Structure 1
Amino acid sequence: MKASDLFVKCLEEEGIEYIFGVPGEENADFMMSLEQSDQIRFILTRHEQGAAFMAEIYGRLTGDPAGCLGTLGPGATNLITGVADSNMDRAPMLVLTGQGASTRLHKESHQVMDVVGMFEPVTKWATQVIHADSIPEITRKAVRLARTEKPGAVHVELPEDIAKWETDKKPLAVKKFRRSVPDDKAIDRAFEKIKSAKRPLIVAGNGCIRRRASKQLRMLCEKTGIGVVSTFMAKGCVDMDADYCLYTIGLGAKDIVSCAVDAADLVITIGYDMVEYHPSLWNPDGDKEIVHIDFLPAEIDESYHPEVEVVGDLAHALWMLNERVDAAGALEFDLDQQKAVRRDMWAEFTAHKDDDTENSIRPQKVLWDCRQVMGPDDILLSDVGAHKMWIARHYQCHEPNTCLIPNGFCSMGFALPGAIAAALVHPDKRILAISGDAGFMMNVQEMETARRLNCNLVAMVWEDNAYGLIAWKQENEFGKHTELDFGNPDWIQLANAFGWHGHFVANSRDLASSLEAAFNEQGPSLVVVPIDYRENGILTERLGKVTCSI
């Protein structure tokens, strides 16, 4: 068979379900081969960046990679932002690019550049197929690396002439392995630290949204009562209704949740990625006792120097801890500060739930209504901007992977294409993408993709006619901001032009009913809210005066 046929068969063997992308001349053979597959569905997107975000969300929701595809040169460069986002947010992904014929790669040539070299800094592995017979090994290695903790993106480049080569090789069978488990002595040391602590606290990171890890974490907290502070990407690792859920940490300023960290005499980090929330923000003096539990050893940092490191499968590590808790019996801790944090944060969440405002709606009210309309297993995706800070702080979750926030690479333009992938993976769930007006317009072309696929999703835009997060940060530091205002389209006409349903919600009292109506419409719906970002400055001022109550 042709090399491109073999490549597709190898991807089928790996169980790949979707490839998102924009084809070009140099991957025409691959596309012809892919068209013959009855297992892999190709989703044509309107921009390669959108394709990469779709593949990222598929990976985050399933734990398995999807493909994103572009041609050489500009097709490949268009992919790179979404690829970097996936890699830094620990989502498995296959990046598939075409390339000019191997006979012209050594010289100046049309659209030819070192694509493999470009992807190396933003992937776990990037390689070029230089012989058709190597495709089975490359594909097996690529998928294994993409899925191996911590997951990420892997790039494979197939030159156009090699795609045509004949080969008699066959796909390699998929053989999976069990992750290594932690050392018993390390678990014993961690448990002794926990037993001797008076005010232990868990900081849960991205690794805790794995289903098995979340289950074992909840069991540990039920047995001990130890509170859990989640990073943005760990939302839902414990149920928001549980007494030990202390909500989310990650704002640059000190927040109420920080009081629990300040009071802790032992911080147990579980599946924590410092790329999300740097330890210098919660351990500025480097004096906190830390137990690190994760798939990998701790990153070296002067503010993060754990006394104990438990390295291995995260769910198994928590199971081992739970076994020791059961054997030891009841543990006694002082959890008063943690109870106060939960009480005070809940007061924050409910403060504006009954707002009745016109022509401008507070972020707190929007998110309260979103939470009421969304079920426990429904999925909210946040773009990047000022709204992300409010979602991170005020939208809490019942289950893992029900609030998807980009928080490592933090790329704008993420939410709309991501929502399309979420709707494909979970057509039975409500999918809500929240974007600022700036982030939404960065991948607005994918409105056509959503319409063509007839996705049931709701995209909500918070309109402030500016780059609101940058304005917020500049105001905080300099007392003013630079030129950041812009105009917007007529949103209802935009929705109509793409065949979407459209809603402009000017009054807070109408928001919940408008959202409910949008979710009950067939196909994609746009809901636009004029947002009251005066609340940004008010929040900053209040956070600057936070005092810890008990």
Structure 2
Amino acid sequence: MSAAAPGPGRTGADLVVACLVAEGIEIVTGVPGTTVMDVIDGIAREPRIRFVATRHEQVAGFMADGASRAGAAPGTALVSRGPGAANLAIAVQNAYDESVPMLVLVGQVSGAIVERRAFEEMDVVATFRPMSKWAVEIHDVARIPELLQRAIRASVSGRPGPVVVSLPLDVLQHPVPDGVVAAPRWRPYPPAPAPDAVTEAARLLAGAERPVLLLGGGAVGDPGPYLALAERTGAAVVTTWMRQSLVPYKTPGYVGCLGYGAHEVTEQVVREADVLVAFGCRFSEFTTKRWTLVSDETALIHVDVDPEELGRVHPPRLALVADARLAAQALLDRAERTVGDAGRERLAGFRGCFEEATDLTADALAGDDPRGGVSGASGVRALQHVLDRPDTVLVQDAPSFVPWMQRHLRVPRARSVFGSAGGAMAWGLPAAMGIALARPRQRVVTVSGDGSFWMVAQDFETCVREGIPLVNLVMNNFAYGNTRDRQRAAHGERYLGVFYDNLDFAGFARSLGGYGARVETDDGLLPAVESALDQDRPAIIDVLQHPMYGLPPGLTPLPAR
């Protein structure tokens, strides 16, 4: 009997699995543990769900995060009580910070022994409430469909985020009463903007001489309405930090991605805007250059599905509680064609400066010294080669190499680059695994620093075991690069705790049955990438860099605050 089908002898665990099937969840990641074995057994009897066992709960959480970003929302992770749940917390916090939908199922001790400090007992709800959209514990087997499916809807509705559902062992093992079944899947329609607000926003745009559209994480998806609105109104288009993949690089009005590593011309466009329309943007610290970028003279039109975000940082001239794409389409339907020759020339000038700044020419790289290792410019050229293939996706972790990509990578297709703005090291490899599972027809390439990669390297074995053919570029400078740069800039070059030794990552890959290559010179990197992409198995490319090499020329580390 399928675990999703009604019938005699069903348990709460079977009902949990039935609810997952009803909600369209096809992949569950996790680590087996005592309190979730009944759910895992139910999944084993359900052919519509694939369970991927990882070597650490943090990896399971980041995999669920990646699967959600790639379109398989909500990514789902299953872990056991106490230590298992605690290991997952970093992924939940990161998803909450970045508004990524995620379903977390946590096994819990039985209600009969709760509050006795039972083995690995933890107050799951109290632990996760501050870092989740909703945390709930289910105490009655008959309420599993109500509460579990409500949690799933909450995760993907409004401002998305992680939800945590605690499942006591006695509830999972309890028989299901007759007539209790999974509910049909449904989703609320996203909110459209108020007509009067659209009229006023269109009026402000019509009078603008230097309009700018700022696209944040809430604007993910089809960029068509935003780009059409920009063309009609003559607005420049910029994105928030780590969201350069929201629009293709060749979009005529696109002038870059804000945040750490942004080009001066990108910041100038925002600084000089007389009307700024922000779609799904939280005005975060890096995007706003620590809240100094948006002028008080700029008329801000702020669009967000979460009313709590409106005016949190900058008082808006106009605030619209609405889905970003619906608001853009409504504005497009109402906006006048206002751009004139002067506006076109001004925007073309900004675009020309942006193209010049992103070019990997000798002038742009004056002063760059890789000190004998592989250069950042060669790394970007290799990644550009990856992205120019129509079937590839790039995932960038949180290494000191990210500013190189931010400044020089030209993204040809929307939603072809994924990056985490939450700051969690070690996100890259697991997220790439989730993205690869959600997009099996595409090749996924991830770039990590050696510090980030080595935190989760054990799950390269999971890639081999599960047949996930990732290509992992490890920018290996034998250092925690971001911290090293801060010690160099702000602490008199007193280095402590930032340098270490690494094994041969290529040999490590081969020892687990994957493909491994070690690159020590610029001319060896692109052939190694091409060879790895030709494999049908996971690969690690160990890219050796000097321990003191890192940021692009002219870029300084951000000071601690």
Say if 1:231 and 1:285 are closer, same or farther in 2 by CA, change over 3 A: closer
Native 8 Å contact 1:377 1:399 kept in 2: no
Q: 2:203 aligns with which of 192, 200, 206?
A: 192
For residue 331 of structure 1, what is the aligned residue in structure 2? Answer: 339
User: 1:204–1:272: 8 Å Cα contact kept in structure 2?
Assistant: yes
Q: Partner of 1:203 in structure 2?
A: 214
- 1:182 paired to 2:170: no
1:321 equivalent among 331, 347, 352: 331
- The aligned counterpart of 1:540 is 555
How far 1:28 moved relative to its partner?
Answer: 1.6
Per-residue deviation, 1:254: 7.3
TM-aligned CA distance change 1:100 to 1:364, over 3 Å: same
1:466 corresponding residue in structure 2: 479
Which residue matches 1:304?
314
- Structure 2 distance, partners of 1:443, 1:276, is 27
More deviation in 517-526 or 478-487? 478-487
- For 1:329, give the aligned amino acid: R
SS in 2 for 1:175: coil
- One-letter amino acid of the structure 2 residue matched with residue 413 of structure 1: A
CA distance in 1 between counterparts of 2:536 and 2:308 reads 47
Letter in 2 for 1:25: T
Deviations 1:314-335 (A, max 9, x none): 222111111123xx33433635
One-letter code aligned to 1:78: N
The code of the aligned residue for 1:540 comes to: L
Aligned partner (choices 293, 310, 322) of residue 303 of structure 2 = 293
> Equivalent residue for 1:488?
502
SS at match of 2:319: strand
Distance change >3 Å, CA 515–CA 276, structure 1 → 2? farther
Deviation at 1:57, TM superposition (A): 0.6
The count of corresponding residues between Structure 1 and Structure 2 is 539
What are the equivalent positions in structure 2 for 1:427-438 lying under 5 Å apart? 427-438=440-451
Shift of 1:478: 3.7
Matched letter for residue 420 of structure 1 = M
Contact 1:208/1:237 (8 A) holds in 2: yes
48-57 or 362-371, which deviates more: 362-371
- Inter-partner Cα distance in structure 1 for 2:418 and 2:113: 42
Partner Cα separation in structure 2 for residue 357 and residue 25 of structure 1: 50
Structure 2 counterpart of 1:231, from 226, 233, 240: 240
CA-to-partner distance for each residue in 1:454-479, whole Å, 9 max, x for gaps? Answer: 21210000011111011223333344
Structure 1 pair 464–94 and aligned structure 2 pair: CA distance change class (3 A): same
CA distance in 2, matches of 1:209, 1:249: 16
1:432-447 alignment runs, 5 A limit: 432-447=445-460
The CA deviation at 1:276 is 6.2
Given that residues 209 and 400 in structure 1 are in contact (C-alpha distance below 8 angstroms), is that contact kept between their aligned partners in structure 2?
A: no
- Distance in 1 (alpha carbons) for counterparts of 2:501 and 2:420: 26
Matches within 5 A, 1:450-529: 450-483=463-496, 484-529=498-543
How far off is 1:541 after superposition? 5.9
What is residue 547 of structure 1 aligned with on the other side?
Answer: none
Deviation at 1:295, TM superposition (A): 1.6
Which SS does the other structure have where 1:207 is aligned?
Answer: helix
TM-score (norm 2): 0.90
Aligned to 2:3: none
The percentage of counterpart residues that share the same residue type is 27
- Structural mapping, 1:73-84, within 5 Å: 73-84=82-93
2:109 to 97, 100, 106: 100
Corresponding residue number in structure 1 for 2:158 = 149
Alpha-carbon deviation of 1:536? 2.0
Give the alignment's TM-score, normalised by structure 1: 0.92
1:408-427 matched pairs, under 5 angstroms: 409-427=422-440
Deviates more, 1:174-183 or 1:248-257: 248-257
Deviation at 1:336, TM superposition (A): 4.9
Q: Deviations over 1:393-446 (max 9, x none)?
A: 332323332211110x21111111111112212222221111000000010111
**CA 1:274–1:200 in structure 2 vs 1: closer, same or farther (change >3 Å)?**
same
Cα distance between partner residues in 1 of 2:20 and 2:262? 46
The answer to whether the 8 A contact 2:63-2:434 is kept is yes
**In structure 2, C-alpha distance between the alignment counterparts of 1:252 and 1:506, rounded to whole Å:** 26
CA contact (8 A) 1:283 1:304 kept: no
Structure 2 contact 274–297 (Cα < 8 Å) conserved: no
SS of the equivalent of 1:106 reads: coil
Structure 1 residues 49-107: Cα deviation after superposition (integer angstroms, max 9, x where no partner): 00001000111111521210110010000111111112222221110111111111122
Q: 1:344 to 1:528 in 2, by over 3 A?
A: farther
Are 2:181 and 1:170 equivalent residues in the alignment? yes
The aligned residue for residue 548 of structure 1 is none
Q: Secondary structure at the match of 1:443?
A: helix
Taking the aligned partners of 1:196 and 1:480, their CA distance within structure 2 comes to 52
Corresponding residue SS for 2:457: coil
Contact 1:376 1:397 (C-alpha < 8 Å) held by counterparts: no
Q: Is the 1:451–1:498 contact (alpha carbons within 8 Å) kept by the matching residues of 2? A: yes
Specify the alignment match of 1:449 in structure 2.
462
Q: Is the 8 A contact 2:212 2:236 kept in 1?
A: yes
Displacement of 1:27 after TM fit? 1.4
Unaligned runs of 5+ in 2: 1-9
Map of 2:73 onto structure 1: 64
Bigger Cα displacement from structure 2, 44-53 vs 379-388: 379-388
Aligned partner of 1:246 in structure 2 is 255
- Report the more deviating stretch, 38-47 or 522-531: 522-531
Partner of 1:52: 61
CA drift of 1:531 comes to 3.2
CA distance in 1, matches of 2:312, 2:432: 38
Q: Distance in 2 between matches of 1:239 and 1:253?
A: 17
Q: How far apart, in 2, do the equivalents of 1:529 and 1:389 lie? A: 17
Q: Is the 8 Å Cα contact of residues 65 and 143 (structure 1) preserved in structure 2? A: yes
Tell me if structure 1 keeps the 8 A contact 2:240–2:287: no
Partner residue in 2 for 1:85: 94
* 1:376 to 1:149, Cα distance in 2 relative to 1, 3 A: farther
Matching residue within 399, 402, 422 for 1:385: 399
Distance across 1 between alignment mates of 2:68 and 2:438: 10
Specify the alignment match of 2:26 in structure 1.
Answer: 17
Change (3 A) 1:542 1:385: closer
After superposition, the Cα gap between the structure-2 partners of 1:460 and 1:67, relative to the gap in structure 1 and judged at 3 Å, is: same
Residue type at the aligned position of 2:443: R
> CA separation in 1, counterparts of 2:390 and 2:300?
32
- Provide the rounded CA distance (Å) in 1 between the counterparts of 2:281 and 2:463: 34
Q: Which amino acid aligns with 1:426?
A: R
The aligned amino acid for 2:65 is E
